[in-house]
Amino acid sequence: MDKFSKRYNGLFQGSILCLLLTLVSSQATQCDERNCKLPSCRCPAVHVPGGFEPSDIPQMVLITFDDAVNWENWDYYMQLFPKDGSRKNPNGCPISTTLFVSHNFTDYCMIQKLHARGMEIADHSITHKLPREWWSISTKEELEYEILSQRENLADYGHIPIEDIRGWRSPFLQPNGDNQFEILFHNNFTYDATMTYPFPRNLYSPVLWPFTMNFPWSIACNIDPCPQNTYPEFWVVPVVTMMDYREHLPCSYVDFCTNKPRNQDETLEFLWKNFMRNYRTNRAPYYVNLHSVWFDENDYNLEAMDQFIQRLVDMDDVYVVTVYDAIKWMRNPTSLRNMKDFEPWKCTWTPEKEDRQFCEFTFRPRTTPRVRKTTTTTFSGEKTTTKKHSNSPNLPDDNENSVTPDGFRPWFRRNSATVPKLSVLAGLLTVILAFWL
């Protein structure tokens, strides 16, 4: 064999090796059933977890409210989720909801009571500032302040164990790519509920289930920037769009539809048709994302929502639960038949339990100043109007929020994105082989 044949042969072998390594590396970066299994991993998909038929699993309904909790919306929560626990899921536990709470205008006494009642409290920033674009271009430090300081507020002033605050939703559903996911991942959050998913655009197709970020983002990026890196075991609960009541246009929030229902029947029909999309197809969680101001728009939205929830409660295969409950089910998919004994959804709830949480609602004005830690007065009725706060600005510029509460040390997990990718190694090896042979 002459010198040129040898060299040609060497290059050929190198190319084959490169091809093989590239194939291996691309396999390693694509999520599929072979390399991604529950409870630690789930690919973005519409098939039912656990291999069940849709009719064999509970239909979960995740009602979420965003923004401040105060006197503007307290009565709505009281009506929809009565504190005597009379609205129950088939397992005997009261129905629940997830509140993504921002700091400004929030009454933390109400947060304390809602949490005591079994509702999930999640993080939705300190300032919720405008413009929307700020949330896509803010620095990691700025975003860190918004996410971590608000979690501390909820823990300190709402008296919630910090490990119970597991979820984050960015204001205006505006993601910040890997900055956002790195902060959440490295600070022990369980899930993000920011990422909008605009498909399907009709009421007859199955809906995307929540998924983990063990593999790079592979579905449509509806609002830039989406994350590029991977975050093992960290969940994405997608904001799947609904179809408006005319079935013309999608809407991310119940209250953001361009075609708004014009009366109570149309509103109920709108909620019900979207629910049936999930119920009749793959029974993915039905996401009902809204702002309480929707109930201020007219006198029928609240009544329609009330009717809608009652219909759900009357069904024996529907569970109105929190976002974190849905993740607990996904980690351990269980058949409808066994749901009454499903341990992760057991509740220790008793009626009026939150009345044992002594705190005092703040004065009725729309602006709620920061609640100071000295709030130890006795509870004297839900509509107490004792004025006790200074009118200090809502946005603290001191370092109070950066103090980690006692006893909490978020553990740190290595981000797999920092590990060199196989494809890079394959490329390097090929170059070395080509020169060497």
Count of residues that interact with Zn ion, criterion CB under 5 A:
3
Q: Shortest CA distance to 154 belongs to which of 142, 144, 164?
A: 164
Least distance in Å: CB of 100 to Zn ion? 7
Instruction: Give the nearer residue to Zn ion in terms of CB position, either 293 or 433.
Output: 293
Instruction: Give the nearer residue to Zn ion in terms of CB position, either 105 or 209.
Output: 105
Least distance in Å: CB of 171 to Zn ion? 5
Instruction: Give burial (CB, 10 Å; 0-12/13-18/19+) of 98.
Output: buried
| Backbone region of residue 131 per phi and psi (left: phi > 0; alpha: psi in -120 to 50; beta: other values) | beta
Q: Which residue is nearest to Zn ion (CB)?
A: 66
* Sequence-distant (≥ 6) Cβ neighbours of residue 29 within 8 angstroms: 215, 216, 421, 422, 423
- Binders of Zn ion among residues 45 to 84 (CB under 5 A) are 66-67
Rounded to whole angstroms, the Cα distance separating 90 from 96 reads 13
> 45-75 burial, b if ≥16 CB within 10 A, otherwise e?
beebbeeeebebbbbbbbbbbbbbbbbbbbe
Instruction: Give burial (CB, 10 Å; 0-12/13-18/19+) of 10.
Output: middle
- Give the angle subtended at the CA of 403 by the CAs of 176 and 408, to the nearest 5°: 85
Instruction: Give the nearer residue to Zn ion in terms of CB position, either 66 or 107.
Output: 66
Least distance in Å: CB of 233 to Zn ion? 27
Least distance in Å: CB of 64 to Zn ion? 11
Stretch that binds Zn ion, among 11-19, 154-162, 168-176, 180-188 (CB under 5 A): 168-176
Tokens (6 digits) for 91? 């397992």
- Binders of Zn ion among residues 207 to 246 (CB under 5 A) are none
Give the distance between the most distant pair of CA atoms in the chain: 98
Least distance in Å: CB of 226 to Zn ion? 19
Instruction: Give the nearer residue to Zn ion in terms of CB position, either 31 or 148.
Output: 148
Instruction: Give the nearer residue to Zn ion in terms of CB position, either 127 or 423.
Output: 127
Stretch 13-52: interaction string toward Zn ion, x if CB under 5 A: ----------------------------------------
Instruction: Give the nearer residue to Zn ion in terms of CB position, either 67 or 144.
Output: 67
Q: How many other CB atoms are found less than 10 A from the CB of residue 406?
A: 5
Least distance in Å: CB of 170 to Zn ion? 8
Q: Is 171 in the site for Zn ion (CB under 5 A)?
A: yes
Stretch that binds Zn ion, among 155-163, 171-179, 248-256, 354-362 (CB under 5 A): 171-179
Stretch that binds Zn ion, among 106-114, 163-171, 188-196, 400-408 (CB under 5 A): 163-171
Stretch that binds Zn ion, among 47-55, 169-177, 382-390, 392-400 (CB under 5 A): 169-177
Instruction: Give the nearer residue to Zn ion in terms of CB position, either 93 or 237.
Output: 237
Least distance in Å: CB of 413 to Zn ion? 28
Instruction: Give the nearer residue to Zn ion in terms of CB position, either 67 or 178.
Output: 67
Can you name the residues that pair with 191 across neighbouring β-strands?
167, 235
How do 250-251 and 242-243 pair as beta strands?
antiparallel
Q: How many helices (H) and strands (E) does the chain have?
A: 10, 13
Handedness of CA 354, 360, 366, 370 (dihedral sign): negative
Least distance in Å: CB of 102 to Zn ion? 6
Q: Which residues bind Zn ion (CB under 5 A)?
A: 66-67, 171
